C-alpha cells in the first residue's frame, strides 16, 4: 500500500493545482491563514467533482476548539452540507475547557457525520495527554488523526508522532501535518506514517491597494502544483 498525500486547499485554483500535482485527497477549507475554517457550500460542490476524495473542515470560527451549543448546531448543519455536496468526509475536533477531547460534543458531531470519512484534526496537539486522546479518538470511530506531535511542525514532533504510530498499531491512521514538504518527507517516512498532510503553498505578493484597503494581506499563500508534485515524488 502506497503513501497518501492530502493537500489542504481554500480556493478553486488550489483544487486544480492539487489535482494537477498528483494529490491523493483534499482537505477543503476557507481561511487557511487562520488554520482553516469551514468551506462554503459552493466550494464543496465544486471540489466534489474534481475526481479526488475531498473532506471538508468543520470549524465555524477561528480561535479555540471549545464549542458552544450554537457552534455545535452550525457544525451539524455544515456536516449536512458536506454530505449533500457529495464529499467523502469531514475533518473536525472539540475540546473541553481543560484541554481534553470533548467526548459528548464529538459523539454528537460524529452522529451527524455517520457514514462519512472522519479525521480528528490538530486539536489533538493541544491536549494534555495525547495517548489518552488517541485511544478516545479510536473509540469514537475516527478513521485518522492529523497531528504534528504537539510541536509547531511535524519534523519537530517526530518522536511523538512515532510514538502515536506505535500506539495506534494500525487501528487508526496517524497523518503527519505541519511543515511537511518534499525536503522533510524522507525523514518523516521513517516514522511509519502512511498519510501526509500539506498545503504545498508558496507566498505570492499582492499588488495594488487590496491590502491597504483591508481586503487581504500583502502576501498570499497559494497552492503550488509544482510543490504538490515534488512532495508526491518524495513520498514515492
Torsion angles phi and psi, residue 195, rounded to 5: -130, 140
**pLDDT at residue 213 tops 90:** no
In angstroms, the first-to-last Cα distance of the chain is: 11
Q: Which cell is 10 given?
A: 481554500
The grid coordinates of residue 33 equal 491563514
The share of the chain scoring above pLDDT 70, in percent, equals 97
Residues 205 and 123: their CA atoms lie apart, in Å, by 30
Is CATH 3.40.50.9100 what the domain over 4-235 is classified as, yes or no?
no
Q: Which pLDDT score is estimated for 218?
A: 65
Res. 1 pLDDT band, cuts 50 70 90: low
Beta-bridge partner residues of 25: 6
99-142 pLDDT per residue, tens: 999 999 999 999 999 999 999 999 999 999 999 999 999 999 99
Measured CA to CA, the distance from residue 203 to residue 114 in angstroms comes to 37
Amino acid at each position: 500500500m502506497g503513501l497518501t498525500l492530502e493537500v489542504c486547499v481554500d480556493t478553486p485554483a488550489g483544487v486544480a493545482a492539487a489535482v494537477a500535482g498528483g494529490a491523493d485527497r483534499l482537505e477543503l477549507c476557507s481561511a487557511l491563514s487562520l488554520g482553516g475554517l469551514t468551506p462554503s457550500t459552493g466550494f464543496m460542490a465544486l471540489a466534489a467533482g474534481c475526481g479526488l476524495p475531498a473532506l471538508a473542515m468543520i470549524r465555524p470560527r477561528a480561535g479555540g476548539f471549545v464549542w458552544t451549543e450554537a457552534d455545535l448546531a452550525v457544525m451539524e448543519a455544515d456536516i449536512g452540507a458536506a454530505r449533500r455536496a457529495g464529499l467523502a468526509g469531514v475533518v473536525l475536533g472539540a475540546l473541553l475547557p481543560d484541554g481534553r477531547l470533548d467526548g459528548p460534543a464529538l459523539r454528537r458531531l460524529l452522529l451527524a457525520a455517520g457514514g462519512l470519512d472522519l479525521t480528528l484534526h490538530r486539536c489533538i496537539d493541544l491536549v494534555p495527554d495525547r495517548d489518552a486522546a488517541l485511544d478516545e479518538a479510536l473509540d469514537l470511530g475516527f478513521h485518522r488523526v492529523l497531528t504534528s506531535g504537539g510541536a509547531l511542525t511535524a519534523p519537530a514532533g517526530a518522536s511523538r508522532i512515532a510514538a502515536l504510530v506505535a500506539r495506534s498499531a494500525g487501528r487508526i491512521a496517524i497523518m503527519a501535518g505541519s511543515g511537511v514538504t518534499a525536503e522533510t518527507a524522507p525523514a518523516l517516512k521513517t516514522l511509519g506514517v502512511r498519510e501526509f498532510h500539506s498545503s504545498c503553498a508558496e507566498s505570492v505578493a499582492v499588488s495594488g491597494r487590496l491590502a491597504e484597503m483591508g481586503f487581504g494581506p500583502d502576501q498570499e499563500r497559494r497552492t503550488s502544483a509544482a510543490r504538490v508534485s515534488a512532495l508526491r515524488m518524495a513520498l514515492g
